[in-house]
Amino acid sequence: MPQKLVFWLLDINYDVESKTPVVNMWGLTEDGKKVLVKDYSFRPYFYVLPKMGVDLSKAVKDIKLLEDPAEPIISIDLVDKKYFGKPVKAIKVTCLIPQSVPSYREKIGRLSWVEDVLEADIRFYMRYLIDNGVNPCDWHEVEVEEEKVPPGFELDAVYRALSRPQPILKDEPPPLKVLSFDIECYNKAGSPVAQRDPIIIISLVANGESKVMTANDHDDSSLLKEFVEYIQKFDPDIISGYNSNHFDWPYIQARAKLHGVKLKVSRELTEPHQSVYGHISIVGRANIDLYDYAEDLMDVKIKTLENVADYLGVMPKDKRILIDYIDIASYWDDPSKRDLLKRYAEEDAVSAYGITMEVLPFAIQLSRLTGVPLDQVLAASVGFRVEWYLMRVAYREGELVPNRVERKYEPYRGGLVLKPKEGLHENIAVLDFSAMYPHLMIKYNIGFDTYVPPEESCNPDECYVAPEVGHRFRTHPPSLYRKALEKLLELRKAIRDEMKKLDPKDPYYILLDNRQRAVKTMTNAMYGYLGWTGARFYLKPCAEATAAYGRQTIMKTIKMAKEMGLNVIYGDTDSIFVKYDESKVRAFIERVEKELGLEIKLEKIYKVCFFTEAAKKYAGLTIDGRIDVVGFEAVRGDWCSLAQEVQSKVLELILVKKNVQAAINYVKDVINKVRSGKVDIKDLVIWKTLSKSLDEYEVEAAHVQAARQLLAAGHRLEVGDKIGFVVVKGASEKISGRVKPYIFASMDEIDKEYYARKQIAALALRILKYFGVSEEQLLTGVKQASLFDFLRR
């Protein structure tokens, strides 16, 4: 009997059942039921773009001739589409099953009259989502007929769709069952090897309750079975782990294979499998790797689970058990320590669960907005998220999606950065354009579909000409980028208006806040997408013109500021720093908005602000007494923490106390402590990322040398790992010749003079030299610096 079903889309995949493709929508209902909605009515297709002037009826016949009866073509239709904004006749070829698409693409692509075969590489279920306006992580209504639940499926009901799902207005996701897990391996000799080392603990938290499962000494076969059974019984909607896509799941898979254990953890009791963007898919559930999210947390320099959990306030580092990864095996083997190890594992799972609860609301909104399924959206890079969003816009506009092609890297000129006026300044206003690039793209209708190539003519009043670069864009119709951006900006405004009516503690407010953050992220990423040579919609002039308009805008802005008597101290891309004068600044903001048609905002005011001669580096004391440190080594992860601390403290003494002598004394004191070894070696560690494999390095950098030592000692290293090393005494002239991984080093071998000079004094002097302090002054003697008036007026 037909009925209406309302469901929230959690996961999507497809199957082929007796030569019919079926889209499986794994959903949840309002009353918490797990359902599967099967749509048998959608067919895969792609487009063939004929060359100019080709006889289309002959073209259609040619395609028909290529048909393989074993893989039927359902229809061949002539359709009107647009390609790079130009109207084109395309041939839409619809097949019976998705598997036939690649071979037809190949065969048809070889026909002489074919310009290109398009959209043949879009995965079937993504095609379904785009064409039907169905969104992951959103509510839909669909007409259905109930079917039997197939044996082995973990579901409350299965339905056959009788209509296409329609999105309905409903925001709150259903209650989701979340399971986070972590594994510990028996790694006696360096890094664990799946073929050799068993899993000894699987700890997990399911809807807030933790559980620690253990191996039978060194036998993990029953542990694996227990884990599978637990997942089946708890039946989570969300499964998460930390680095689980690249470590836990592959490890579990390898161990399970060894023992012949079937990992029937999906909702159709199939095993996890590798999918797009390097993520692991578990059908019917959303498997999320929290590391994908951690990568975006710029403030966490070393992205271990405990650091991320600490940063998010989920599990404070000083209130939990931490066991060095090297000691895990010995803890397991020592009966008196095994419980401690179990607690450690439990706390890891609790951390993972806590992070999941922080991330999930945002991931849900990002998935809903971009149309990328929840289990993929964090794994997908920014470019792909933007691209899927644009593909939906393109579909609605009848614009054909270009193929993915490999292009060589093509740099272009970017934003304008001013040389700052060095020294101390008082009362500085920071003014910022809001979303400058997006607004410029809209204003000048920039797009691959509005671009006028040099050989083409265009009426001057019907096109915009970008400064410096001269690229032209038609003033109408609106470009695809413009449409996408207008929609995003409009959406953000609507969300923020709605938020204003709510209490910030209201759960709905928090939902909307996550939504507006997702929209903002996408808006900001659009410009970067323009310049990405891997983008389907890539056209270099778009990026070049946008950046050129940006430079023009900021130059005009600076000119206006000067004309109005504002002293411009610094500026970067879309911001200017001026000496604050309330009435002048107010008038300036009005004039900019009137003359440039762009919104500029008074972002903040610094009571005191310090610049060196270098761009992208400054420190400012805000009205509420905080210190912003931008670009200085104190906020960079590649200096030892002691030197960073010294630089921060010096900045504070200068900005707040305005006391140079106190700063000198302080630095000298630290240098003395370093020289006498009265510092913690941990504060001398320098961390650097291994950005490629060791043999790819052209020079012997310090961290590369340290990495080689780690490798020789049996540590497993991967690209992206952070190498922590210290500089030690030795014969070598080169720093790289006398580094040691910090775990091998002791205080007495530290090259204390290196730290005194090249780390501590160097960073202090970065600031103090502007106040007449010399290196010698910090490193030797007790010479008193003369106090002088260092304020610029």
Which is closer to DNA, CB of 694 or CB of 747? 694
Report if residue 630 touches DNA, rule: CB under 7 A: yes
Per the listing, tokens 């028996």 go with: 186
Which is closer to DNA, CB of 98 or CB of 414? 414
Structure tokens that stand for 563 in this block? 């004309």
Which is closer to DNA, CB of 455 or CB of 698? 698
Cβ proximity of 654 and 424 under 8 Å: yes
Report if residue 758 touches DNA, rule: CB under 7 A: yes
Which is closer to DNA, CB of 333 or CB of 486? 486
Cβ proximity of 155 and 10 under 8 Å: no
Binding pattern to DNA, positions 470-509, x when CB under 7 A? ----------------------------------------
Structure tokens that stand for 255 in this block? 């161990």
Q: How far is the CB of 635 from DNA (least distance, A)?
A: 4
Q: Which residue among 367, 573, 647, 777 contacts DNA (CB under 7 A)?
A: 573
Which is closer to DNA, CB of 334 or CB of 700? 700
Q: Binding to DNA (CB under 7 A): which residues in 159-198?
A: none
Size of the site for DNA (CB under 7 A): 70
Q: Which residue among 210, 689, 709, 774 contacts DNA (CB under 7 A)?
A: 689
Q: How far is the CB of 484 from DNA (least distance, A)?
A: 15
Q: Binding to DNA (CB under 7 A): which residues in 576-615?
A: 612, 614-615
Q: How far is the CB of 280 from DNA (least distance, A)?
A: 20
| Cα–Cα dist 328/533, whole Å | 45
Mapping DSSP onto H, E and C, the string for 735-755 reads HHHHEEEHHHCCHHHECHHHH
Structure tokens that stand for 568 in this block? 């411009």
Report if residue 736 touches DNA, rule: CB under 7 A: yes
For DNA, which stretch binds (CB under 7 A), given 92-100, 163-171, 236-244, 404-412?
A: 404-412
With a CB cutoff of 8 Å and minimum separation 6, the contacts of 125 are 12, 13, 14, 23
For DNA, which stretch binds (CB under 7 A), given 126-134, 253-261, 444-452, 633-641?
A: 633-641
- Residue 496, classed as helix, strand or coil, is helix
Q: Which of 443, 439, 445, 433 is nearest to 558 (CA)?
A: 433
Which is closer to DNA, CB of 55 or CB of 593? 593
Q: Which residue among 1, 623, 699, 731 contacts DNA (CB under 7 A)?
A: 699
Can you list the positions of beta strands (E) in 321-441?
Answer: 423-433
Q: Which residue among 368, 703, 740, 752 contacts DNA (CB under 7 A)?
A: 703
**Phi, psi torsion values for 470, nearest 5 degrees:** 75, 5
Report if residue 378 touches DNA, rule: CB under 7 A: no
Is cis: bond before 477, omega within 30 of 0? Answer: yes
Q: Which residue among 121, 422, 432, 498 contacts DNA (CB under 7 A)?
A: 432
For DNA, which stretch binds (CB under 7 A), given 311-319, 504-512, 573-581, 585-593?
A: 573-581
SS3 content of the chain, % helix, strand, coil (to 5): 40, 25, 35
Structure tokens that stand for 458 in this block? 């265009």
- Cβ burial, residue 121 (10 Å; 0-12/13-18/19+): middle
Q: Binding to DNA (CB under 7 A): which residues in 438-457?
A: 438
Q: How far is the CB of 428 from DNA (least distance, A)?
A: 13
Binding pattern to DNA, positions 661-680, x when CB under 7 A? --------------------
Report if residue 698 touches DNA, rule: CB under 7 A: yes
Which is closer to DNA, CB of 536 or CB of 579? 536
Binding pattern to DNA, positions 27-66, x when CB under 7 A? ----------------------------------------
Q: Binding to DNA (CB under 7 A): which residues in 764-793?
A: 766
Q: How far is the CB of 245 from DNA (least distance, A)?
A: 16
Tell me the sheet residues that pair with 62: none
| Cα–Cα dist 64/16, whole Å | 24
Report if residue 547 touches DNA, rule: CB under 7 A: yes
Q: Which of 666, 681, 680, 679 is nearest to 761 (CA)?
A: 666
Report if residue 139 touches DNA, rule: CB under 7 A: no
Q: How far are the Cα atoms of 214, 450, 557, 581, 743 from residue 76, in angstroms, in the given order?
A: 59, 30, 55, 68, 66
Cβ proximity of 122 and 44 under 8 Å: no
Q: Which of 695, 694, 697, 742 is nearest to 718 (CA)?
A: 694
Count, residues in the chain: 793
Which is closer to DNA, CB of 193 or CB of 630? 630
Which is closer to DNA, CB of 189 or CB of 719? 719
Report if residue 690 touches DNA, rule: CB under 7 A: yes
Mapping DSSP onto H, E and C, the string for 142-200 reads EEEEEECCCCCCCCCEEEEECCCCEECCCCCCCCCCEEEEEEEECCCCCCCCCCCCCEE
Q: Which residue among 137, 256, 485, 543 contacts DNA (CB under 7 A)?
A: 543
For DNA, which stretch binds (CB under 7 A), given 179-187, 320-328, 689-697, 780-788?
A: 689-697
With a CB cutoff of 8 Å and minimum separation 6, the contacts of 668 are 778
List residues binding DNA (CB under 7 A): 298, 301, 381-384, 409-417, 432-433, 435-438, 524-525, 527-529, 531-534, 543, 547, 572-575, 612, 614-617, 629-631, 635-638, 687-692, 697-704, 722, 734-737, 758, 762, 766
